[in-house]
Amino acid sequence: MRYMIVALCVLVAGCDTVRSTTDRVYGGDKTPGDAEPTAVEETVEPEPIPATAAGWVGAKTTIAGLGDPTTPGRWLETPLVDTEFTGRVVVPRTGAQAYITLVPASGPEGGGSRLSLDAMRALLLPFDELVELEVYSN
């Protein structure tokens, strides 16, 4: 019975339909003459970042806890920023630091912030504590 299954797999693998499908899926061996023409992609320049997103000099301090664990990525929702950009976050207690996307949040500038699960892992922080953070814009 085992030999029949192996023989069947060998016969099916040799079939032109199976080979052409796997060639399309995995790229296959193509010669330069057989290559399909590709469309030329236009480069789209990103929108310029507003001058208000230039940031600040020095560190701003905030207290952060765990944000929505179902939202992927490495981000910090904070009222310290008005536009989304990447900044450096440092944990003064341990010295751990990471570059994180700073996302604006509603509330007063002294209000609390929320860290993503991935950002908490990058900063080696416990998930169940509030932590003091220093946020740098550059």
Structure tokens at 27: 């790229």
CATH number at residue 123: 2.40.40.10
- Count structural domains, the chain: 2
Both 21 and 57 in one domain: the answer is no
pLDDT digits (tens, 9 = 90+) for 26-39: 555 555 555 555 55
Show the domain range for 129. Answer: 53-136
pLDDT at 15 over 90: no
Same domain, yes or no, for 17 and 84? no
Whether 11 has a pLDDT exceeding 70, the answer reads: no
Interval 2-22 mean pLDDT: 63
Note the pLDDT of residue 34: 53
Q: Does 65 share its domain with 128? A: yes
| pTM greater than 0.75 | no
Q: What is the DSSP string of 68-133?
A: -TTS-SSEEEETT-SS-EEEEEE-TTT--EEEEEEEE-SS-TTS-EEE-HHHHHHTT--TTS-EEE
66 and 126, same domain (yes or no): yes
Residue 33 in domain: no
Q: Which comes out higher in pLDDT, residue 114 or 5?
A: 114
Percent of the chain whose pLDDT exceeds 70? 64
